Structure 1
Amino acid sequence: MTAQEDSALPTRQMEPLRFDNLLISFTTEFYRVWDTHGSRAKPAAFWRPTPAPDVLPGYFPLGDVAVADLDNINEKRVVAVVCEADAQSADLALGKALSPPDDYELIWKDSGTKSKKDGAIWRPVPPNGYVALGSVCTNDHEKPSLNAIRCVRADLVVASRVDELIWSDKGSGAKQSFSAWRITPPHAPAGEIYLAPGTFSSAGNYSKPEMGNPTYSLRVPIALEVSPQPPAPELTAEPPARLTEPAKLTHTARLPWFAVMDPSLSPLEQLRRSPGYRLERTDQYMLIGYGHNTESQKRTFRWTAPRVQRTEHLRTFAQITAIEFGRQWPGDSPAPLQFSAKLDEDFVLCGAQANEWLNARPLDVITFAAGKKSIAVYLVQSNYTLLREDGKPVTDTVSYTDGNRLHICEHSSEETDFTCTPAQMPAPAAADKPAIEPAPAADVPAATDSAP
């Protein structure tokens, strides 16, 4: 995309991410609650996310943001904010997704720092069945409002870990000790994203918080739309064409902006111009061999089927988009928010034990045709394309040959009917049974009959 095309992209209002009756959106607007200016403490500031009421009505922060400098973070940082959905939970016994805290626990105040203005850090006390995802700062020594943040129902989050130190008051002269820590989510399972809220974990000392002070990240299911597979090919009296039907869209995974690296847009531009991405999969039957048995006895046919997947193509796709097939991402790629994600295994055709995307060896297919019958064998090729919200592709398509989906058709020249047999798993090499196996690395056999 050229710079001229990029500037023409419209600003789009993001559809909130949804998990049950929890809505998740994002803000880049903040209010500076307190900072260390004028005190003996190292530079730091604490900011309150302030989602614009005309853009995000009803949204609340999950906690405040701590930064180890005095710079303005407006339009430079982005954090998650949450809202209660209009519809109730699918399980009515679970209740609302959000709740205000019951109370606050004082963690630290600036007494002794000689700061020109008061400041204090508080840990929310959540109601039973809910958890707090961050701490709250005040510009005085009074407890914050119970409406300052929201706690989240426990089944909508995942326990996380404390990572890097953001800031500590060491050397400030304060009567209490304090440190603020970054929250990092664990590895997400297939089909989910774990998103750190962008808040901080607080400790009343200089040690990394342990299990007694749990932290949490948001759970975000990866929305997956599944359509019927393309119609299976049929074998008639005529030799089949290599492509029986055009590729058909069968799966669409919807990914939020922060989970995708877009070479043409910065993260904040993604939020405004392409807050959602579609990873589309199309499937197509590919003919790998056709044979006509003119004899009265059964006959063996053997073909070699090349695979379209290439390690270098997959690596390039991951380098450009940060999206991984068959494993976690973002990996080492930079990301505007702390998260972990993994695509559904059925969607990317990667089992838990093996990643066939890394196997480019051709397949050796053996079939048996009864006397006076023709036979055709097909495999399914899947193509994956990542699209921005406006429908434009982010990078080239990557493709995959599924060696586990073998489709066999038979036709008798003496009859008017035909039979087709889909085989989801390779069949053993036994009498009257087809077999599919990786071809040898060298001396690959050629087709024994006509094949495209």
Structure 2
Amino acid sequence: MTIHDQAAAPSRQIEPIRHDNLLIHFTSEFHRIWDSTGSRAKPAAFWRPTPAPDVLPGYFPLGDVFTAGLHNINGSTVVAVVCEADFPSADSMNGPALCRPEDFELIWKDSGSGSKKDGAVWRPLAPQGYVAMGAVCSNDHEKPSLNAVRCVRADLVIASDIGELIWNDRGSGARQSLSAWSVTPPGAAPGEIHFAPGTFIAANTFNRPESNVGVYSLRMQITPLIKSSPQLPVLSAADAPQKNGAATIAQVVELPWFAVKDDLSPLEQLRTTPFYRLERTDQYYLVGSGHNTGDGSRAFKWTTQRLQNPKMLRLFTQLTTVNFVGPWTRHADMLPTLPFSARLDSQFTHSETSISGWQAPSVTHVIAMAGKGRFVAVYQLESFYELLRADGSQVGINLGYTHDENLYLLQYPPHECPHNTAEQPAPTATDSAP
């Protein structure tokens, strides 16, 4: 008999992660399939994710969950579950996102272990074009139902690595050997997140499995929800220019709960903030202005302070684990069952040219040339980043970035080709240490 330990379901339906025609959600509800009670091996248990049908209708596990120990994991462990979207793939050549396994291959059974219950571990055999993402257990020696799990279309996942050893049955007395291993996603490319679903890889040996066993993680894109540009101020006369342009929310990305460290517990994050909103607000600010009243050309020089601060950047990463200049992974304080690798797009973080921009000296000297009788003003782009929960409250601290490569020279009277700013004399910038 399967033991069913109850856990509280989420109080409301939350939006899934969407990857083409695949929907990804999370559950903290499980059936215990088998445990090692009675055997001479260290305590361990196999669990089947059981998403509540009234909250997550149509969702399936990708494999079972293995835990060292006999503690109840309901309400304390979270794993990914999947569902077929009600729309087709963006590529008409692709088929459904999910399919049933064609069969199961036996990896291990407990015969000879002396355990109080029969149990076995199976490898799902996926149809061509699909992959299995975890082992499946049974509370007898019969094959599981083909509806126990789903396989995922191969283009929706990414090849991964064998992680840490979770458990092996050494000393159990079973006629076969078994070891259970976690999944480690590869380093994410810019604008992507790769995450393990919380399943495990099984082998009929105590040695680390070969790399060709087929290990996969789910993936998702960090796609901007908003993409706009701020307006550059306009000079209307040879008088005091506008100090700052209008602040514009230039880009917004959503980060899933498991990729952000927060004061909330992981389950509170999932229930209250399944997605965090990382906003970038852009604004032009005035570096300096001047009026050339002389008979010849004149150079104007200003000094400006950069917003970026390496100490603040490090503090932001410590508080949230989100990294602006490279990938980030699970922190020790975060949920242990969902290893991931995430990386923000380099254009979003202004690090597409060089990550040293966030570590650059804090003072810039700007030089602009003004012709006879001309009034000039130089503006520079500033970006402000804020990480928000679903209720609008802030996580971590604000970050600011001054884009030193984008200096804009405005002149009055206007240049002969006012719409072609590239033909105007460009201001130059030189760096100085703080």
Report the TM range for the smaller structure's normalisation.
over 0.9
| 2:19 aligned residue | 19
Q: In structure 2, what is the Cα distance between the partners aligned to 1:360 and 1:248?
A: 26
Judged with a 3 Å threshold, the aligned counterparts in structure 2 of structure 1 residues 410 and 272 are, in CA distance, closer, same or farther, namely: same
Judged with a 3 Å threshold, the aligned counterparts in structure 2 of structure 1 residues 106 and 416 are, in CA distance, closer, same or farther, namely: closer
Paired residues of 1:309 and 1:360 also in contact (CA < 8 A): no
Q: Structure 1 residue 432: deviation in Å? A: 4.5
Matches within 5 A, 1:4-403: 13-241=13-241, 243-263=243-263, 265-330=264-329, 332-336=331-335, 337-351=338-352, 353-403=354-404
Q: Which amino acid aligns with 1:177?
A: S
Q: Structure 1 residue 243: deviation in Å? A: 3.0
Q: Structure 1 residue 150: deviation in Å? A: 0.4
Q: Answer with 49-58 or 367-376: which moved more.
A: 367-376
Q: In structure 2, what is the Cα distance between the partners aligned to 1:128 and 1:40?
A: 40
Matches within 5 A, 1:370-449: 370-412=371-413, 419=418, 432-439=425-432, 441=433
Q: In structure 1, what is the Cα distance between the partners aligned to 2:140 and 2:372?
A: 91
Q: In structure 1, what is the Cα distance between the partners aligned to 2:379 and 2:181?
A: 55
Structure 2 unpaired stretches of 5+: 1-9
Paired residues of 1:12 and 1:274 also in contact (CA < 8 A): no
> Equivalent residue of 1:254, what SS?
strand
Paired residues of 1:195 and 1:339 also in contact (CA < 8 A): yes
Q: Structure 1 residue 275: deviation in Å? A: 1.1
Judged with a 3 Å threshold, the aligned counterparts in structure 2 of structure 1 residues 416 and 341 are, in CA distance, closer, same or farther, namely: closer
Q: In structure 1, what is the Cα distance between the partners aligned to 2:40 and 2:16?
A: 42
Q: In structure 1, what is the Cα distance between the partners aligned to 2:399 and 2:425?
A: 35
| 2:3 aligned residue | none
Paired residues of 1:62 and 1:197 also in contact (CA < 8 A): yes
Judged with a 3 Å threshold, the aligned counterparts in structure 2 of structure 1 residues 421 and 267 are, in CA distance, closer, same or farther, namely: farther
Q: Which amino acid aligns with 1:249?
A: I
Q: In structure 1, what is the Cα distance between the partners aligned to 2:87 and 2:97?
A: 11
Q: Which amino acid aligns with 2:197?
A: P
TM-score by length of 1: 0.90
Q: Structure 1 residue 351: deviation in Å? A: 2.2
Alignment size in residue pairs? 423
Q: Answer with 237-246 or 389-398: which moved more.
A: 237-246
Q: In structure 1, what is the Cα distance between the partners aligned to 2:61 and 2:239?
A: 64
CA deviations on 1:135-186 (whole Å, 9 max, x unpaired) are 0000011111111000001011011111110010111111111100010101
Q: In structure 2, what is the Cα distance between the partners aligned to 1:294 and 1:347?
A: 41
Q: Which amino acid aligns with 1:324?
A: N
Paired residues of 1:306 and 1:361 also in contact (CA < 8 A): yes
Paired residues of 1:14 and 1:276 also in contact (CA < 8 A): no
Paired residues of 1:411 and 1:419 also in contact (CA < 8 A): no
Q: Structure 1 residue 396: deviation in Å? A: 2.4
| 1:4 aligned residue | none
CA deviations on 1:4-34 (whole Å, 9 max, x unpaired) are xxxxxx9553200011000000000000000
CA deviations on 1:405-445 (whole Å, 9 max, x unpaired) are 11110002xx799947656xxx9xxx944322213x38xxx
Judged with a 3 Å threshold, the aligned counterparts in structure 2 of structure 1 residues 152 and 416 are, in CA distance, closer, same or farther, namely: closer
Q: Which amino acid aligns with 2:155?
A: D
Q: Which amino acid aligns with 1:135?
A: A
TM-score by length of 2: 0.93
Judged with a 3 Å threshold, the aligned counterparts in structure 2 of structure 1 residues 42 and 211 are, in CA distance, closer, same or farther, namely: same
> Equivalent residue of 1:212, what SS?
helix
Q: In structure 1, what is the Cα distance between the partners aligned to 2:360 and 2:330?
A: 22
Q: Which amino acid aligns with 2:45?
A: A
Judged with a 3 Å threshold, the aligned counterparts in structure 2 of structure 1 residues 366 and 352 are, in CA distance, closer, same or farther, namely: closer
Judged with a 3 Å threshold, the aligned counterparts in structure 2 of structure 1 residues 82 and 432 are, in CA distance, closer, same or farther, namely: closer
| 2:7 aligned residue | none
Q: In structure 2, what is the Cα distance between the partners aligned to 1:53 and 1:299?
A: 74
Q: Which amino acid aligns with 1:18?
A: R
Judged with a 3 Å threshold, the aligned counterparts in structure 2 of structure 1 residues 169 and 237 are, in CA distance, closer, same or farther, namely: same
Judged with a 3 Å threshold, the aligned counterparts in structure 2 of structure 1 residues 422 and 149 are, in CA distance, closer, same or farther, namely: farther
Q: In structure 1, what is the Cα distance between the partners aligned to 2:23 and 2:129?
A: 18
> Equivalent residue of 1:348, what SS?
coil
> Equivalent residue of 2:207, what SS?
coil
Identity of aligned residues (%): 53
Aligned-residue CA RMSD in angstroms? 2.0
Q: Which amino acid aligns with 1:256?
A: P
> Equivalent residue of 2:358, what SS?
helix
Q: In structure 1, what is the Cα distance between the partners aligned to 2:301 and 2:217?
A: 53
Judged with a 3 Å threshold, the aligned counterparts in structure 2 of structure 1 residues 330 and 242 are, in CA distance, closer, same or farther, namely: farther
CA deviations on 1:18-60 (whole Å, 9 max, x unpaired) are 1100000000000000001112221100000000000000000
Paired residues of 1:409 and 1:421 also in contact (CA < 8 A): no
Paired residues of 2:238 and 2:375 also in contact (CA < 8 A): no
Q: In structure 2, what is the Cα distance between the partners aligned to 1:330 and 1:116?
A: 39
Judged with a 3 Å threshold, the aligned counterparts in structure 2 of structure 1 residues 109 and 272 are, in CA distance, closer, same or farther, namely: same
Paired residues of 2:408 and 2:426 also in contact (CA < 8 A): no
Q: In structure 2, what is the Cα distance between the partners aligned to 1:371 and 1:297?
A: 5
Paired residues of 2:39 and 2:173 also in contact (CA < 8 A): no
Q: In structure 2, what is the Cα distance between the partners aligned to 1:420 and 1:12?
A: 52
Q: Structure 1 residue 241: deviation in Å? A: 4.2
